[in-house]
Structure 1
Amino acid sequence: MEAVKAIYEEKLIQPVKGKRILITGGTTGIGRAAAHLLARENDVLIVGRHQAELDDALRDFQQHDQSKGKLVGKVADLANPEEIDGLFAYADEALGQLDILVNNAGLAFNSVLEGKYEDWAYILNTNLLGYLACSRQAIDRMRTQGRGHIINIGSMSADVQEKDSSVYVATKSGIQGFSESLRKEVNELGIKVTLIEPGAVGTDMQPREGQAEKQEKGEMLKAEDIAVAIYYCLSTPLRCDVVEMQIRPHLQVI
């Protein structure tokens, strides 16, 4: 009876309201969908590499959402440590404090048999070192208030390790290991760490042709599906950690 009473009386889902949130890779795809969902009742800062995409994401939100929060943005290249410093200095001004970091910025790349050292270095700096650096900046701010939540968007590629994607797989495998270890380092500070690993998602990282048909058939996810998953992870009670979540299209065989 106590368990049944708890279900009816306790707020098992905590509304995500009044939070200060930074989303990297927030101008397109998963990051953009998450920003538009969360900014309805929170203050959200998105960052992307291109001004045109940032302007479009902000304009689209302003046209369609009657928001109780706000959405602002900044252009920055997270492969550059100086621009990461500038991003968080801007976040301090725009948000005042930081409650949630969604590490999502990432670039596609194929095999190590393609490209050269400088190409691989840029991908690793963006996809992996960018996560590390942004997490450190966020933790420095979150620890002063004794709470916070870092969500790392990884990929099922870390487990599948598909052929002809060795550079990308290396970065996503690194994110997986980093997330698992980081949680053990910061949970006593009151900071949560969640790793979300999607399967195939209809974003700019996938060929655009045929995405709608695959989504209709259940062979591909929408970016909004991952945005909802992010919201769920943020909405659980303080006693709960969603440590790792894998989300696959219904008919994607992995």
Structure 2
Amino acid sequence: MTQQTYADYLTKNISNKSILVTGGTAGIGRATSLMLASAGANVLLTGQDQAHLEDTLKDAGKMGVGDRIKGIITDISTAQGITKIFSEVDSRFGNLDVLINNAALAYQSISEGNYEEWEHIIKTNLLGYLACSNQAIQRMKPRKAGHIINIGSMSADVREKNSSVYVATKSGIQGFSASLRKEVNESGIKVSLIEPGAVGTDMQPSTPEEQREKEKKLEMLQAEDIAYAVLYCLAQPLRCDIVELKIRPHLQLI
């Protein structure tokens, strides 16, 4: 396969597609949004931090893809936030080809915090995925085409001690993805689940300097590693579904 053919393979199913990325202003979502725009997609991203959004859009401009990315500030844990997102989808795109459910918050043990905090985590990390998927499917089914990618976590399998709230949400995403695929595949909609190991993002308790050191030691992934995984899932022909993709740092021995 020539280099040009390989490049075509990676981008032909992405170029000019309309893609929504939740949690797209930082970490995995940011890297994915910029990479997909560079591959020719039209991207709408969501976030909750105006400074992060402006920084992402600034980088998009530097990369020459500023016209392909638009971002909005919204809270995905609320019904109003979901409505705002898909009103913008309809206004900007008119349809939706790809949904990347990525927005999530870190949290530790159920022994910590209070009901309001747990509720907010579950609404963000799990209910937000469900609600966005519902809205995306409504827009994909009439055209019998679409792709939903859920960014999960190794926590669904490893189930670390002192991480019970986060584990509950990521385990829910794992089960949701498996069941959803059976529900929508006959409607022409693909569902892929990507479960990363440790990734150097703001969700990590370690400092950026510590994260870079772990990356050098092969103990931590970079956000771009997961963005490439998204690109790979989307690049597949109609006959081929990437159902579940697990990505671990080489020396994260779990």
Same fold, judged at TM 0.5 (above)? yes
Which TM-score band (shorter chain)?
over 0.9
Q: Number of residues paired by the alignment?
A: 246
After superposition, where does 1:34-183 map in structure 2 within 5 Å?
A: 34-40=32-38, 41-63=40-62, 65-67=63-65, 70-183=68-181
What is the identity, as a one-letter code, of the residue corresponding to 1:57? Answer: T
| Cα offsets for 1:103-143 (capped at 9, x unmatched) | 00000000000001111000000000000000000000011
Which sections of structure 1, spanning at least 5 residues, go unmatched?
none
Cα distance in 1, alignment partners of residues 11 and 74 from structure 2: 32
Identity of aligned residues (%): 59
Cα distance in 2, alignment partners of residues 57 and 235 from structure 1: 24
Question: What is the deviation of 1:12?
Answer: 6.0
What is the identity, as a one-letter code, of the residue corresponding to 2:251? Answer: L
Matched, 1:251 2:221: no
Asked if structure 1 preserves the Cα contact closer than 8 Å seen for 2:157 and 2:171, the reply is yes
- The alignment yields a C-alpha RMSD, in angstroms, of 1.7
Change (3 A) 1:78 1:95: same
SS at match of 2:45: strand
Asked if structure 2 preserves the Cα contact closer than 8 Å seen for 1:42 and 1:69, the reply is no
Cα distance in 2, alignment partners of residues 142 and 183 from structure 1: 14
Asked if structure 2 preserves the Cα contact closer than 8 Å seen for 1:150 and 1:191, the reply is yes
Change (3 A) 1:92 1:101: same
Point out 4+ residue stretches in structure 1 off by more than 4 angstroms: 11-14
What's the counterpart of residue 237 of structure 2? 237
Asked if structure 1 preserves the Cα contact closer than 8 Å seen for 2:99 and 2:136, the reply is yes
Cα distance in 2, alignment partners of residues 35 and 68 from structure 1: 11
Cα distance in 2, alignment partners of residues 162 and 150 from structure 1: 27
Cα distance in 2, alignment partners of residues 250 and 76 from structure 1: 36
Asked if structure 2 preserves the Cα contact closer than 8 Å seen for 1:19 and 1:100, the reply is yes
Cα distance in 2, alignment partners of residues 230 and 80 from structure 1: 26
| Cα offsets for 1:156-206 (capped at 9, x unmatched) | 000000000000000000000000000000000000000000000000001
SS at match of 1:118: helix
What is the identity, as a one-letter code, of the residue corresponding to 2:246? Answer: Q
Matched, 1:212 2:212: yes
Normalised by the length of structure 1, the TM-score is 0.93
Cα distance in 1, alignment partners of residues 231 and 11 from structure 2: 10
Asked if structure 1 preserves the Cα contact closer than 8 Å seen for 2:57 and 2:66, the reply is no
SS at match of 2:143: coil
Question: What is the deviation of 1:14?
Answer: 5.5
Cα distance in 2, alignment partners of residues 247 and 236 from structure 1: 18
Question: What is the deviation of 1:42?
Answer: 1.1
What is the identity, as a one-letter code, of the residue corresponding to 2:110? Answer: V
What is the identity, as a one-letter code, of the residue corresponding to 1:228? Answer: Y
Question: What is the deviation of 1:13?
Answer: 4.9
Which sections of structure 2, spanning at least 5 residues, go unmatched?
none
After superposition, where does 1:3-22 map in structure 2 within 5 Å?
A: 13=10, 15=12, 16-22=14-20
What's the counterpart of residue 33 of structure 1? 31
